[in-house]
């Protein structure tokens, strides 16, 4: 059954006594995402906008977002307590308006390549409307939508302000990219400083420097920039007795190299999964694919975290550790096969479920390019990662007040002490030793037989616009 038909049936099912539903219909109803289930109930019960948003927030879902064209239509409909059929008629009138302008909105990352220079340009372009101005823009759009006296006035307003709409939650994307830029720039600055120091050594000692001593600090700093490709030219220059490239040329070179989101994801992922358990191997295989596809440094990190080898294992030690990891992979494969047998998945589904490859890298790429919405937990987790890894100035330092402002700007709920994940975040922010808090929390979850909060954070991120199109249209 098509998802749109499933949603339509769901609206109808909410209109009748649930006791009258068959088990098959109940099963289908439960398969629909919670956010869509609430929208279906809203249409069936003729809820107003406040009721819908309240229910969404209570269920841990994002409220309707005025800067999304598709959700703007829902805001207009629920404010007028329209039924589903009325909304479909309204939507069909204006869908073409947005689709015609959608391509023109993509000013950044059009070719798929992400460079540091373009990331900076995106950040600077979006920072013009940061903080209060951003909130006012979203609220202003929502107020104008609500105040439209007719569908004609609503569509006229949409056409006049089409450039203000976005296919994803633009504020969450902006903050993700902004702090990603801070993280990368910090690594670049360290590299530039190492270049200056190495140049002084070359000038001081000249030909007296052994080949192995040349550019040692410079090359070490480049290792921390492994998420930028290619760096071969800079590495070769570091080996020379006299640099051919000036510092400015190196800066320009780095600004135009391609950012590989997988490298950033590896660092972010390891920050939270440095304390892994056997129970967590499932997500590692899901995010990185089969063991032989993992980056070598990730293999060693995971093996060390599991107590299988030291941080810098000898070849013999690594041979033993890698064999044990292969055994774990085989055990995980058997678990998956057992689930397949019970769940009745076919061969194609099994391959898709187990061999997803580097899905974490794909998620990060789509976060940057605007192909996927960034959910609340992912944004918070990334900001905490940058907070610990990068020295931030007072204006951008991640404090509780600053984080709550960011969450509000993105349309997310502020930190709530009664929520388990939020309590962890509050403890993390208040602690003078945040990494100790992280380790304690991970250990607590393992003892309780649970996975850490980040276990499912990526799978909860998706494109709201695509979901709405799949189910509602």
Q: What is the pTM of this model?
A: 0.71
Model confidence band, residue 135 (pLDDT cutoffs 50, 70, 90): low
How far, in Å, CA of 166 to CA of 178, rounded? 18
pLDDT at 246 over 70: yes
What is the DSSP code (8-state) at residue 452? -
How far, in Å, CA of 169 to CA of 406, rounded? 13
Q: Torsions phi, psi of 450, nearest 5?
A: -110, 165
pLDDT of residue 276: 44
* Residues recorded for the chain: 473
How far, in Å, CA of 238 to CA of 243, rounded? 7
* Of 20-29, 174-183, 347-356, minimum mean pLDDT range: 347-356
- How distant is the alpha carbon of residue 327 from its chain centre? 31
* Cα distances (Å, whole numbers) of residue 302 to 71, 287, 385: 42, 13, 18
pLDDT at 421 over 60: yes
Mean pLDDT of the chain: 77
Per-residue pLDDT, averaged over 303-324, amounts to 85
How far, in Å, CA of 396 to CA of 178, rounded? 10
* Of 118-122, 137-141, 324-328, 363-367, minimum mean pLDDT range: 137-141
How far, in Å, CA of 302 to CA of 299, rounded? 5
CB 105 within 8 A of CB 97: no
* Of 17-21, 222-226, 434-438, 468-472, minimum mean pLDDT range: 17-21
Model confidence band, residue 102 (pLDDT cutoffs 50, 70, 90): low
Buried b (16+ CB within 10 A) or exposed e, 83-101: ebeebbebbeebeeebeee
Chain segment 200-222, per-residue pLDDT in tens = 877 777 666 666 666 678 888 88
How far, in Å, CA of 397 to CA of 185, rounded? 15
């Amino acid at each position: 059954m098509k998802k749109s038909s499933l949603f339509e049936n769901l609206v109808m099912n909410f209109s009748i006594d649930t006791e009258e539903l068959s088990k098959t219909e109940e099963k289908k109803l439960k398969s629909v995402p919670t956010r869509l289930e609430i929208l279906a109930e809203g249409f069936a019960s003729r809820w107003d906008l406040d009721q819908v948003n309240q229910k969404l927030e209570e269920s841990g879902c994002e409220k309707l977002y005025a800067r999304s064209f598709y959700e703007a239509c829902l805001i207009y409909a629920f404010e007028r307590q329209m039924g589903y059929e009325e909304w479909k008629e309204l939507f069909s009138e204006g869908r073409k308006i947005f689709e015609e302008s959608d391509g023109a909105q993509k000013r950044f990352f059009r070719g798929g390549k992400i460079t540091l220079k373009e990331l900076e340009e995106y950040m600077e372009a979006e920072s013009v409307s940061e903080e209060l101005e951003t909130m006012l823009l979203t609220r202003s759009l929502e107020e104008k939508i609500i105040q439209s006296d007719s569908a004609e006035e609503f569509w006229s307003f949409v056409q006049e302000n089409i450039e203000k709409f976005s296919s994803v939650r633009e504020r969450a994307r902006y903050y993700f990219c902004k702090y990603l830029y801070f993280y990368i720039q910090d690594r670049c600055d360290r590299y530039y400083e190492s270049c200056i120091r190495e140049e002084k050594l070359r000038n001081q000692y000249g030909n007296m420097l052994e080949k192995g001593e040349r550019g040692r600090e410079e090359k070490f700093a480049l290792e921390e920039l492994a998420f930028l490709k290619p760096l071969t030219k800079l590495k070769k220059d570091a080996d020379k007795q006299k640099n051919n490239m000036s510092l400015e040329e190196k800066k320009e070179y780095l600004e135009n190299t391609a950012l590989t989101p997988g490298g950033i994801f590896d660092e972010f992922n390891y920050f939270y999964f440095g304390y892994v358990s056997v129970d967590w191997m499932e997500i590692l295989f899901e995010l990185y694919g089969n063991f032989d596809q993992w980056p070598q440094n990730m293999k060693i990190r995971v093996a060390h975290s599991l107590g299988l080898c030291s941080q810098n294992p000898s070849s013999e030690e690594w041979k033993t550790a890698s064999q044990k990891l292969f055994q774990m992979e085989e055990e995980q494969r058997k678990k998956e096969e057992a689930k397949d047998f019970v769940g009745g998945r076919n061969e194609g589904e099994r391959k898709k479920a187990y061999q997803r490859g580097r899905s974490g890298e794909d998620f990060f790429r789509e976060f940057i390019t605007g192909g996927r919405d960034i959910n609340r937990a992912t944004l918070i987790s990334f900001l905490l990662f940058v907070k610990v890894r990068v020295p931030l100035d007072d204006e951008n330092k991640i404090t509780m007040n600053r984080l709550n402002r960011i969450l509000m700007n993105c349309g997310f709920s502020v930190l709530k002490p009664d929520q388990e994940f939020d309590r962890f975040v509050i403890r993390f922010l208040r602690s003078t030793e945040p990494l100790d808090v992280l380790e304690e929390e991970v250990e607590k979850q393992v003892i309780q037989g649970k996975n850490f909060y980040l276990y499912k954070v990526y799978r909860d991120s998706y494109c709201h616009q695509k979901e709405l199109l799949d189910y509602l249209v």
